[in-house]
Structure formats: C-alpha cells, structure tokens
A = this chain, B = another copy of it.
Amino acid sequence: MHTIFFENKPRIIATGTIAGPKECAGVVGKYVDKTLSDDTFGETTYEKAECKMLAYAVRKTIENANLSEKDIDLLISGDLLNQIISASFTARDFDFPFLGVYGACSTLAESMAVAAAFVNAGYHKRIIAATGSHFSSAERQYRYPLELGNTRPPQSQWTVTGAGGVLVGDGGSDVAITCATLGKVVDFGITDVNNMGAAMAPAACDTILNHLRDTGRSVDYYDLIITGDLGALGSRIVKDLTWEKGVDMQKNHVDCGEIVYDVIEREFQGGSGAGCSAVVFGSYIMDGLKKRKLNRVLLCATGALLSTVSSGQGESIPCITHAVAIENI
C-alpha cells in the first residue's frame, strides 16, 4: 500500500503564484498572481531571483487566504538548486518552522502530501507547501554556462521560471486533498540527461498504477490526471506504458510541461522544473477546481533525481513520482 488516506480531508485554502514573461505568454498568464517583466526580478543573480520568487509565492499565498504570517504553522519546501538554497533562504524570511524536502520536479506533490498528512493528523492547522525554479539558474547548474549559447537537442525541455505556494489547512475551502500516493524510485536505465521525459515516464506510470490499485478507482474517476513535467514526448510514453497495463489515460491526461508554453518551439518538449507543476497547478488548475469546472484531479508530480556528479560518473537517472488526489467536496 503506497497510498495514505486523509479522513479529515485537509483543504487547499489558497495558492499564490508568480512566473516569468515567457511562461505568462502561455496558458497560465491569465491566472498567476504576478507576471515578471524581467526574469532577474530586480536581483543581481538568477539564484537570488529564484529565491525572491519563492518568497513572493509564500507571501502571496498567505495574502490570498486573508491570513497573516502568524497564522502559518509550517513551511514545507524544496527546489532544484544545490542544497535547496531557494527554499532555505526563503524560510529565513519567515518566523514559522521549516521542513526542507527534495524531490526534484516532484517537490510540489511531495510537500503537499506531507502537509496534508500533518494537517490530517491534527499536528498543524495551516501549512504552506511551496516550490519554484528558474530557467537560468537551473541551466547553469545542471547543464552549461548560459554564455556558451549551447544548442539544445530536440528531446530537451525548458525549465520553467516561476514559483507557487499551496496553503493546506483544516478548513476554509471546498477543495480537499483526499489521499496521497508516495512514489518509489524507478530507474529504466536512461542516461541521456536531456531526455527527462523518457526517464520519468516509467515512475509516473508506476505511481499512477499504484494509486488506482490502492484506491480501487478507475481512471475515469478523475476529471484530469495531471503529470508534472514529462513534456510532449514523456506524456506519449506514459500514456503508452499505462495503456499496456490496461489503463487508458487518453481522454483525461494532461501534462504541466506539455501545456505550459504557448508555442513549443525553442522549448522543444515543453516545460520542466519544480516551478512547472507549482505554477500550472497553483494558477490554471486551481482556478478550474475553485470554479468547479474540475472536481477531481490527480496531481502526479514527476522528478528526475540525478545530479551532474551522478551523470558524470556514468549513472543512469533514477526517477520518482508522488501523487495527490484533490477533490471538490
């Protein structure tokens, strides 16, 4: 059993999102709280800009809930940067405790799952789960110096510049987190660090199948099954993999990475990064849930758990997917 059930139905009270100009040209543009006109956000480095975005998302989430900082019991956050500095430095700005998590691009679902588990158990009343990423800080950490102007292969994805916070609490909304399926690490032996979608798709398939088995639900139970950032290629693969196991997600699957950019051109397979699902879920999807255009969604955030050192030492890419079921009640 990989699924935890939340009988007290912790709610999503509010979200707060921010994204870069390129991201806001797409589907999320209408829904995010703040669109950056310049991806440095007035800072001198991309890392500081990423951290400032995350802090903005946390603060905006509190504001959107009409609460103040003292109403928050805990921040659960992580990001893509080494030693999750964006999350740690964001936490420094606030007076509530902090749990640092790391799940690469699965961080949003991981932190939401832990937040819901803690609220459901009555340990806390209100917890913020938050994450973010920045194209330029991720690019120079994971790949090449930006100044190199390196060409990108067609299977690559574009790290989303953006951040999102989700306030999980014990009431105050009709949108509930009803259960969470924690992922296990799956490694299909992919070594191409530009082909994250293919690497992560088997982990997404594993968690989705575990979720359906544990809950006894069919795929039609959900209005949408949302994967984190498999991109266009990874989305095709996960639909093929689940189809082989008798699960047809053709009609109700959507991938945050695939839909986040309006024109998939220089981004090739679409978006990626911890901020991808945070921005898409926190703005576009939450809007649908609040307006009851969507009533049951399964958010499956996918993460590739590699580092430049592990790749450099010839390792393949272990991946993970955590899923949270979000339902209007």
Which one, B85, B98, B183, B310, contacts A85 given CB within 8 A? B310
23 sampled A-B residue pairs with Cβ under 8 A: A47-B310, A78-B102, A81-B309, A82-B83, A82-B309, A83-B102, A83-B104, A83-B307, A84-B102, A85-B309, A88-B305, A89-B310, A91-B184, A95-B184, A97-B183, A98-B183, A99-B103, A99-B110, A100-B101, A100-B110, A114-B114, A117-B121, A117-B123
Q: Which residues of B contact A89 (CB under 8 A)?
A: 305, 310, 315, 318
- Closest Cβ of chain B: how far from A195's Cβ, in Å? 17
Q: Specify the chain B residue showing the minimal Cβ separation from A47.
A: B309
The 5 A-B pairs with the shortest beta carbon distances in the complex, nearest first, are: A88-B305, A121-B121, A83-B307, A97-B182, A91-B185
Measured CA separation A94–B318 after assembly (Å): 12
Q: Which residues of B contact A85 (CB under 8 A)?
A: 305-307, 309-310, 315
Q: Specify the chain B residue showing the minimal Cβ separation from A74.
A: B182
A293 on interface, CB distance cutoff 8 Å:
no
CB–CB B123/A4 < 8 A:
yes
A187 on interface, CB distance cutoff 8 Å:
yes
A45 on interface, CB distance cutoff 8 Å:
yes
Measured CA separation A114–B121 after assembly (Å): 12
- Closest Cβ of chain B: how far from A166's Cβ, in Å? 17
Measured CA separation A187–B124 after assembly (Å): 25
A118 on interface, CB distance cutoff 8 Å:
yes
Measured CA separation A80–B102 after assembly (Å): 12
Which one, B99, B187, B306, contacts A182 given CB within 8 A? B99
Measured CA separation A184–B73 after assembly (Å): 11
CB–CB B306/A97 < 8 A:
no
- Closest Cβ of chain B: how far from A272's Cβ, in Å? 14
Q: Specify the chain B residue showing the minimal Cβ separation from A89.
A: B318
Known contacts A117-B118, A318-B88, A103 near B100 by CB under 8 Å: yes
A215 on interface, CB distance cutoff 8 Å:
no
- Closest Cβ of chain B: how far from A243's Cβ, in Å? 24
Total count of chain A residues near the partner, CB < 8 A = 55
- Closest Cβ of chain B: how far from A322's Cβ, in Å? 8
CB–CB A313/B117 < 8 A:
no
CB–CB A98/B182 < 8 A:
yes
CB–CB B83/A306 < 8 A:
yes
Q: Which residues of B contact A110 (CB under 8 A)?
A: 99-100
A92 on interface, CB distance cutoff 8 Å:
yes
Q: Which residues of B contact A95 (CB under 8 A)?
A: 184
Measured CA separation A141–B47 after assembly (Å): 18
CB–CB B98/A45 < 8 A:
no
A320 on interface, CB distance cutoff 8 Å:
yes
CB–CB B47/A98 < 8 A:
no
A266 on interface, CB distance cutoff 8 Å:
no
| CB 8 Å contact bits of A59-87 with B (1 = contact, 0 = none) | 00000000000000110001011111100
Measured CA separation A313–B91 after assembly (Å): 18
| CB 8 Å contact bits of A21-48 with B (1 = contact, 0 = none) | 0000000000000000000000001011
